[in-house]
Amino acid sequence: MAGEPWGGSEELWSRTALHLAAEGFSVCASVHDWSPPHKRLSALAEGGVDVWVRPSRYSIWKRAWRRVTCAHNAHTVELRKRIFAKVPSLVVLSTGMALPPIELLELCIAEKVPFVTIGQANQDAWWPADNDAKRYRNALPAALRCYFVSKANLQLAEKQIGCAIPNAEIVWNPFNIEFGASLAWPSSPDGTVLFACVGRLHPPSKGQDILLEAFAAQDWVERNWRLTLYGEGPMKDSLERLVKRLGLRNRVIFGGHASVKDIWASNHVLALASRYEGLPLVIVEAMLCGRPVVATNVAGHSEVIEDGVVGFLADAPTVAGVAKALERLWERRSEAEQMGKAAAVRIRQLVPPDPIKVFSGKIKKLLEAHR
């Protein structure tokens, strides 16, 4: 990712890199320069991955010069210099969004290097201009595979570029809890329903503002509930101010970072008002822990959440839509524990026990087939 040092979209490629390095493969990773380096990037180097750090920012003069003299952006210039110092057997392009920058695909094609893409988050607000869409239509068929983490995001990408992606394949992100995890339902003597919103504090993507406004409605004033916002991010102060403005200071807690087990040992329901996503780890983790989910119907949410059975889907990432979904949960709150049990069964029917082993196997097959 370019905007933050780490996020859920980094889990698949980074854990796969470590897995392959542990099996004796020579693995290099080109990452942004963060100061100080994120602990997970440090763990890559410690695990045998050759980490190449590229500048996150360029001076205004360098940016201007590259705009004038180079057809590729600074990203591509750096990757050309570093990645192709040794001609790799395979390049994996993962940038956190649905499609990597088109220049990176074209660079691999020009250098005749096999490559795959990993598509994570996608959103309706992103549409390539006609010329770039044409370039994607020409470049994507050259990929050995175009991996996506949800069918919905694949379908949106196909709509955005104006053609089918026949070499696409759906894969699962890894999760941060044991596949066989079993957590007791949290006790709540006074009947308080304990909601958790888990994710980066970034309303443009995670929609915490939508969730807070839905809870600020008059109907919720006399109800026993509490919401904990877990995570950190660049907009925490703004969210704290919104909580205060909405009069929710006695109901909403900022929980910072916490382990998956700690979160679901003390909360009943995951509430997620995302404006766009891939397929969030937090949904899979909550369901593995036996917790129902209230979420917006974006990206791959409906592919795992059976509405009315394991949770509730809001029609759209709006206050009205989320409010209706929360109301449905409240009306059936006595069934929440049973819904959580159903969620635990359903997610285990969908997700492999070890997504990294599965994805690493796919990468190894591609390497064998293109020696």
Tokens of 29: 């990773």
β partners of residue 274: none
Q: How far apart are CA 42 and CA 96, in angstroms?
A: 19
Q: What gap in Å lies between CA 63 and CA 61, rounded to an integer?
A: 5
Q: What's the confidence (pLDDT) of residue 30?
A: 87
Structure tokens at 306: 């059976």
The mean pLDDT of 329-345, rounded to a whole number, is: 98
Instruction: Using CB atoms within 10 Å of the CB of residue 355, give its burial: 0 to 12 exposed, 13 to 18 middle, 19+ buried.
Output: buried
Q: CA 341, CA 337: separation in Å to the nearest integer?
A: 6
Any idea which fold 193-350 has? Rossmann fold (3.40.50)
Tell me the one-letter amino acid at 74.
Answer: A
pLDDT at 57: 52
What beta strand segments (E) does 82-189 contain? Answer: 91-94, 115-119, 145-148, 168-170
8-175+353-369 and 193-350 agree in CATH topology:
yes
For residue 110, pLDDT beyond 80: yes
Residue with tokens 């929980």: 255
Structural domain 8-175+353-369, CATH architecture: 3-Layer(aba) Sandwich (3.40)
What is the predicted pLDDT for the residue at 323? Answer: 98
Residue that has been written with the tokens 């807070």 in this structure: 212
Q: Where are the beta strands (DSSP E) in the chain?
A: 28-32, 50-54, 91-94, 115-119, 145-148, 168-170, 193-198, 225-230, 252-256, 269-272, 293-296, 311-314
For residue 40, the surrounding DSSP H or E stretch is helix 39-46
Domain extents in the chain: 8-175+353-369, 193-350
pLDDT mean across residues, the chain:
92
The reported pLDDT for the residue numbered 3 is: 72
What type of residue sits at position 300?
A: G
pLDDT at residue 63 greater than cutoff 90 = no
pLDDT greater than 50 at residue 176: yes
pLDDT at position 72: 45
Q: d(Cα 206, Cα 274) in Å, to the nearest integer?
A: 4
Cα–Cα distance, 333 to 339 (Å, whole number): 9
Owner of token pair 């990452």: 31
State pLDDT tens for residues 122-159. 999 999 999 999 999 999 999 999 999 999 999 999 99
User: What pLDDT is recorded for position 77?
Assistant: 73
Looking at residue 322, what is its pLDDT? 98
- Number of C-beta neighbours around residue 232 at 10 A: 14
| Residue 60: both structure tokens together | 């205004």
Whether 46 contacts 21, CB under 8 Å: no
At 74 the pLDDT is 60
Residue 41: predicted pLDDT: 87
Q: Looking at residues 206-222, what average pLDDT do you find? A: 97
Among the listed residues 110, 118, 176, the one whose alpha carbon sits nearest the alpha carbon of residue 144: 118
In this predicted structure, which of 8-17, 59-68, 184-193, 355-364 has the lowest mean pLDDT?
Answer: 59-68
Instruction: Please determine, for residue 66, whether its predicted confidence score (pLDDT) is greater than 60.
Output: no
- Residue with tokens 């059975």, as numbered in its chain: 309
